Amino acid sequence: MDFGLLFVLLGVGAVFALTDIFSSSGSESDTPDPENSPDHDTDAPVDPPDDAELPDGVDVVEDPETGALTFVITDEFSGAGILSGVPGMADILDLSEFSGNASVTENDQGEVFLQIEDESTEPTLLTGINEVILGPGDNVVNVGSVPGGFGVTATEGTNSITAWRGLLDVTLLGGTNSVDMADSGTLTVAIAGGENRIVPDEDVSGTVTILAGATGETTLDTEAFIPVVFEREEPGLQITPAEASDGAIVTWETGRITIVNGTEIIFPEEGAGAV
Question: In this predicted model, what pLDDT tens digit does every residue of 203-251 receive, in sequence order?
Answer: 999 999 999 999 999 999 998 889 999 999 999 999 998 876 678 999 9
Position 25 scores a pLDDT of 41
Quick check: 8 pLDDT over 70?
no
150's CB contacts (< 8 A; 6+ apart) are 130, 131, 132, 143, 163, 166, 167, 168, 169
How high is the pLDDT of residue 118?
Answer: 81
**209, 189 in Cβ contact below 8 A?**
yes
Burial class from Cβ neighbours inside 10 Å (0-12, 13-18, 19+) for residue 220 reads buried
31 versus 77: the higher-pLDDT residue is 77
Q: Could you give the CA distance from residue 248 to residue 246 in angstroms, rounded to a whole number? A: 7
* CA separation for the pair 71, 60 (Å, rounded): 5
- Mean residue pLDDT across the chain: 82
Q: Which of 108, 202, 98 is nearest to 156 (CA)?
A: 98
CA dist., res. 16 & res. 157, Å (int): 82
Residue type, 158: T
Would strands 158-172 and 112-116 be described as parallel, antiparallel, or unpaired?
unpaired
At residue 15, the 3 state secondary structure works out as helix
| Interatomic CA distance for residues 37 and 237, integer angstroms | 65
The conformation of residue 44, written as its DSSP 8-state character, comes to: P
Residue 263 pLDDT grade (very low, low, confident, very high; cuts 50, 70, 90): confident
Among 232, 212, 220, smallest CA distance to 263 is for 220
pLDDT given at position 51: 46
Residue-wise over 49-81: b if at least 16 C-beta within 10 A, else e? beeeebbebbeeebeeeeebbbbbbeeebbbeb
> Which residues are registered as beta bridge partners of 131?
92, 151
Instruction: Check whether 73 has a pLDDT greater than 80.
Output: yes
Across the range 118-134, mean pLDDT stands at 91
Q: Say what the pLDDT of residue 74 is.
A: 96
224 vs 254, residue with greater confidence? 254
User: Residue 120: which pLDDT band, with cuts at 50, 70 and 90?
Assistant: confident
95-114 confidence digits (pLDDT tens): 999 999 999 999 888 899 99
For 7, residues 6+ apart whose C-beta sits below 8 A from its C-beta are none
Asked if residues 135 and 115 have their Cβ atoms less than 8 Å apart, the reply is no
CA angle 239–241–245, rounded 5-degree value: 140
pTM: 0.78
pLDDT digits (tens, 9 = 90+) for 235-244: 999 999 887 6
Q: What is the pLDDT of residues 148-183, one digit of tens each?
A: 789 999 999 999 999 988 999 999 999 999 999 988
